[in-house]
Amino acid sequence: MSLELPVTEGALPVPFWDVEKPTTSLYPDDYVAVAAANDLILGYSDGSFRPYVDISRAQLLTIVVRAAEHFKPGALTTPLGGWKGTLPASDPTHGANIAKAEYSGLLAGIDLAAFSVWKPATRGEVAQILWNLREK
C-alpha cells in the first residue's frame, strides 16, 4: 500500500511550533507537514506535535484509520450497533477508531488480552497493523 504523498523540502508550512525546521534535511518537518495537510495527524491543543514522544497504540490506530479512510476508502468497516470489542473504545478522540480497527481486522495477529491502548506501540505491532491494512 502506498499513500503516494509527495514530500518536497519546504513545500508546506509546518503547523506545529515544536517541529524543527532544518534547512538541509527532509526529516521530520516536511513529513509532518504533509501528514498534517492530509489530516492524518492533528497534534495537541497547545499547537504542539511532540515529535519525539512515544506514540500510544490508540494514537497509532487513529492515524492508520484516518489514512485508510483517505487513501483506501471502503477498506474498513464501522462496527454494527451493539458490537462489543475486546478493546476499550469509549475515548472521545480515539474510541471510534479503536473500534473500527478492531472490527475491521487491523489487529489480527496481536494478542488483544495484553494490548493496552494507552501504552506505546512496538515496532512489531506497527508492522502487523500495516500489513493487515495492506491485505485489505
pLDDT(11) > 70:
yes
Helix axes 123-134, 57-71, angle to 10 degrees: 20
Q: What pLDDT digit, counting tens, does each position of 20-74 carry?
A: 776 666 567 888 898 999 999 999 999 999 988 999 999 999 999 999 998 899 9
Average pLDDT over residues 95-116: 97
How confident is the model at residue 6, as a pLDDT?
79
pLDDT(2) > 60:
no
pLDDT(16) > 90:
yes
109 pLDDT tier (thresholds 50, 70, 90): very high
Global confidence as pTM:
0.86
* C-alpha span between 19 and 41 (Å, rounded): 13
- Do 19 and 49 meet the contact criterion of CB atoms below 8 Å apart? yes
Quick one: cell of 96? 471510534
Say whether 127 sits in a helix, a strand or coil: helix
How confident is the model at residue 12, as a pLDDT?
87
